[in-house]
Amino acid sequence: MEKVPPPQHEDETSDALTTALHFTSTGPFSTMEYRHDVGLEELCPVCGDKVSGYHYGLLTCESCKINRDAFFKWILPFLQHSQGFFKRTVQNNKKYVCAENQECRIDKTQRKRCAFCRFQKCLHVGMRLEAVRADRMRGGRNKFGPMYKRDRALKQQRKALIQASGCRIESSPPLVSSTHQRDLTFTGGLHPVPVLHSTPLFTAQNDHISYQSPALCSLLPFNSAGATQNQSTSFSNWIIKSEHTNNCASSPGSAAGIGSDELYSRPFSPQGPRMPQLVMELLRCDSDELKLQNKITARLLQEQAGWEKQGNPSTLSLMCLMADQTLFSIVEWARTCIFFKQLKVSDQMKLLHSCWSELLLLDIISRQVLYGKEGRLLLVTGQEMELSDIASHAGPTLTSLVQRGQELVEKLHILKVDRQEFACIKFLILFNPDVKQLEDHPFIESVQEQIEGALLEYTLYTSSQFLGRFAHLLLCLSELRSLSNLAEDYLYCKHLSSEVPCNNLLIEMLHAKRNWS
């Protein structure tokens, strides 16, 4: 569906960004200085054979590249209504069926044995449907060019990190145990409620606070560079106070832009990978979970007073109000966090408009992974819902969304993703260089690269199988993106049928993104 590839910004940068960009524009792993053969010694993620180059979105071997045709025969039954290329292939409409349990092992020697599982694996590792040309035109370049370029730069960086550390993949011991924190309880004074609207959530108090659609720009400081820690921003009837207890806004490195020299200068100590300081800096930008819980609970308590007039809202409406409040906290996090507050408000808005739903979803998912219990949904207020209850009350779309969300939570849980990694992932989502018409594109790209580097280094530091882990995290990121798109579509439908509260930030963001693209 994509029309135009994002423009390449490799020109020299303005003074304000010089420090931050120094690392990527002149450093040893500049995106402009990769060698052509970077990564070619890698193994095909589908079957483990030697890769022959980038094919349909990632480095694979020639054999798995060629198998796109069979892949399309497999996918065809699901795309009967598409036209063009698929119509031409329709006479070969051969349906692949797995003779086993759709979980055949795919490797170099066995890859021919099950076409179904092979192509499922192609999909799973990230081969891109869109890279196959409907018109079968040969040669030329496609929109994946910049992506391949970034990937190469990252691989080069990774290789250099490994060389610098002198460590081998199989000999790197886990240096730090998982930082899972499952000892925290958030039940507080609130009781778990199986289905929200069956029980009053909060005891009513205070006056009803109504609000009109607060524009995102009113949440952002007029001059982002001048944002201070305790600045109050008012909009409509809300007063939002920045109550961050972290020191990210006032830390010495972040005020005028973190220079890579400070945070990311020496990839490794001679002994091996070290804890990247940048990761700790990103973590410091996170607000405390308990404080967030109290703040959002308090706001919802105020809201509740207004409900008595119209009767209790539906569970879905309540969830939207909660999501709306969480969105406020996400915007607050963004506008005070490192790197982002250096951006112009216009770029800040573009980035937030593009990724709000991913951040929101990540917030929910990370809460389940870090603090949740199996089979239950832990809300931002600290309350819990039975997932089976949600499933029994939800329609097929929401049920499948929840199901996929649960699967992602499970994946991240098995990976034992910790707060540090979630903090990095949040930044990776926020600093998306593929967002259109960014004024400070080079800066945003450089932040993205720094964060990727830091996350990679962190996984090196904490995991014995770091390469797989890093790749897994990035895979989860793409699943998160597709889930958030589905969630947006779902929400939009519910909005059109007036089943969710309007005039809030959530709906405003929903509209803004649709108008934008």
Partner DNA sequence: GTAGCCTTGAAT
Partner DNA sequence: ATTCAAGGCTAC
User: From the list 81, 136, 168, 182, which residue makes contact with DNA (rule: CB under 7 A)?
Assistant: 136
How many residues touch DNA under the rule CB under 7 A: the total is 35
- Report yes or no: 470 and 456 within 8 Å, Cβ to Cβ: yes
Tell whether residue 63 is a contact of DNA (CB under 7 A): yes
Rounded to 5 degrees, what angle do the CA atoms 297, 476, 70 make? 145
- Using CA atoms, how far residue 37 sits from 24, 33, 143, 418, in Å, is 20, 12, 21, 34
Nearest to 480 by CA among 415, 426, 405: 405
In the bound complex, what is the minimum distance in angstroms from residue 140's beta carbon to DNA? 3
Of 332, 300, 321, 283, which Cα lies nearest the Cα of 454?
283
Asked if 74 is part of the footprint of DNA (rule: CB under 7 A), the reply reads no
Backbone angles phi, psi at 304, to 5 degrees: -60, -30
Binding window for DNA (CB under 7 A); candidates: 58-66, 195-203, 253-261, 496-504: 58-66
Residue linked to tokens 């999501």: 323
By CB under 7 A, the residues from 89 to 128 that bind DNA are 92, 94, 111-112, 115
Q: Which one of 142, 294, 397, 503 is in contact with DNA (CB under 7 A)?
A: 142
Q: For residue 491, which of 368, 403, 379, 360 has the smallest C-alpha distance?
A: 360
Cβ 92 to DNA, closest distance in Å?
Answer: 7
- Closest Cα partner for 279 from 264, 259, 261? 264
* Distance in Å, CB of 159 to DNA, minimum: 16
Which residues within the stretch 184-213 sit at the binding site for DNA (CB under 7 A)?
A: none
Dihedral pair phi/psi, residue 516, rounded to 5°: -65, -45
311 binds DNA (CB under 7 A): no
For 75, the token pair is 């996918």
57 touches DNA (CB under 7 A): yes
Q: How far is the CB of 394 from DNA (least distance, A)?
A: 38
Residue 442 in contact with DNA, rule: CB under 7 A: no
CB of 38 to DNA, least distance (A): 9
Cα–Cα distances (Å) from 336 to 1, 126, 300, 469, in that order, read 34, 34, 23, 30
Q: Is 67 in the site for DNA (CB under 7 A)?
A: yes
Cβ at position 53, least distance to DNA in Å: 3
Q: What does residue 55 show for φ and ψ, rounded to 5 degrees? A: -135, 120
70 near DNA, rule: CB under 7 A = yes
Q: Which one, 27 or 146, has the nearer CB to DNA?
A: 146
Determine, following the binding rule CB under 7 A, whether residue 266 of this chain makes contact with DNA.
Answer: no
> Binding to DNA (CB under 7 A): which residues in 212-241?
none
8 A C-beta contact, residue 297 and residue 190: yes
Quote the CA–CA distance of 120 and 447 in Å, as a whole number. 33
Closest to DNA by CB, 70 vs 474, is: 70
Query: Which range touches DNA (CB under 7 A), out of 61-69, 76-84, 199-207, 473-481?
Result: 61-69
Interaction site with DNA (CB under 7 A): 8, 36, 49, 53-57, 61-63, 65-68, 70, 92, 94, 111-112, 115, 131-133, 136-142, 144-146, 148
